[in-house]
Homo-oligomer: A and B are copies of this chain.
Amino acid sequence: MSSQIAIQKVSQPKPKPNQAELGFGHFFTDHMFIMDYTAGQGWHDPRIVPYGPIEVEPSVMVFHYGQATFEGLKAYNTVDGRILLFRPYANAERLNVSNERLCIPPIDPNFTVEAIKSLVEFEKNWIPAGEGNSLYIRPFVIATDPYLGVKPADTYKFFIVLSPVGAYYPEGINPVKIYVESNYVRAVKGGLGFTKTAGNYAASLKAQEEAKEKGFTQVLWLDGIEKKYIEEVGTMNVFFKIDGEVVTPSLEGSILAGITRDSTIKLLKSWNVPVNERRISIEELYVAHDQGKLEEAFGTGTAAVISPIGELNYNGRTISINGGKTGDLSSKIYHTITGIQNGSVADTFNWTVEVK
């Protein structure tokens, strides 16, 4: 693979969206990164080109058999005028974990980070100003053979696209109401649950829609085998503070190894807060609540960083957590990680990578 990234500039840059209308994932920058894979040749022709529609055959394998992986991370403008990425090597390595499971050829993680840095540097004027705003980075791989046989493809495209996004909490971090899902299943050990692949998200849509109709923001997923153990919340990992100890579901093949999850665990350990990765049942959680020991609950993910859970509903029984307010520990984790990301908190873990 050549690390020479060819560059083709747009003739006319697009107008940038207003900060107020950013939202998430609606706008894309002027350029994108593309690299091709051909069996026998490997990954080749890395290039930065104008962002815009691509041509694919209707028979392109990704439409039919879903051989597709992706990542998500952000670039931040710091308070002192630098541009930071948060743990991009972890994303690049996880992309290969997904690729391996989906029979997609691996991509050198160092090159993935180099490509991200090159594209972000090239598009740095697109990183939106304003507290909490950032440039969302979406690397993704799709199978491109024009062929209807069910087999791993011989050709792929690796893209990186950039989207300026607004603050997740424009009015401050805010707890949500969660429906505990006991009908639909997200994933099971032996399947794709630990990967970031398109099909996992398709599988989640119906539960999410039904929960919204019932007045909840998202679902809490239970394991697909016993419908007993807690897995994830929406598209986030989940943590509970019970009687002073923080508990999060252990990685057993059906849940994503979140980078914000890992960062949260490392932060808690550095603060000497007991943290335990293990199986935790929904019944255990409700018992802890009844004993007054369920102190906080929150999701972790790239988009929200920390999403406090104010209320859970399981089999018709609703419990309120921390009086429906954001807990002190949730808040501390949120402000520490977002502070490291925007340069206002010292990066003692060397998590950030500067784009120069």
Nearest CB of chain B from residue A199's CB, rounded to whole Å: 2
Interface string of A194-229 (1 = CB under 8 A from B): 000111111111101100000000000000110100
Q: Which of B59, B66, B102, B140 meets A206, CB within 8 Å? A: B102
Q: Assuming the A-B contacts A28-B59, A66-B68, A235-B150, are A203 and B224 also in contact, with contact meaning beta carbons closer than 8 angstroms in the complex?
A: no
- With A148-B24, A191-B187, A209-B152 in contact, do A62 and B62 touch (Cβ < 8 Å)? yes
Looking at the assembled complex, report how far the CB atom of A20 sits from the nearest CB atom of chain B, in whole angstroms: 18
Shortest A53–chain B CB gap in Å is 4
Cα A28 to Cα B169 with chains together (Å)? 49
CA distance A202 to B55 in the complex (A): 22
Contacts of A188 in B (CB 8 A): 185, 188, 191, 224-225
Residues of A in contact with B, size category:
35 or more
* Whole-angstrom CA separation of A309 from B189 in the bound complex: 27
CB contacts (< 8 Å) of A138 on chain B: these are: 59, 64, 148
Verify B199–A198 contact, CB threshold 8 A.
yes
A interface residue numbers (CB < 8 A to B): 24-26, 28, 32, 51-59, 62-68, 70, 101-103, 136, 138, 140, 142, 146-152, 159, 161, 163, 183-192, 197-206, 208-209, 224-225, 227, 235
Interchain CA distance A192-B161 in the complex, whole Å: 29
Nearest opposing residue in chain B for A196, CB measure: B64
Residue in B55, B66, B149 whose CB lies within 8 Å of A24: B149
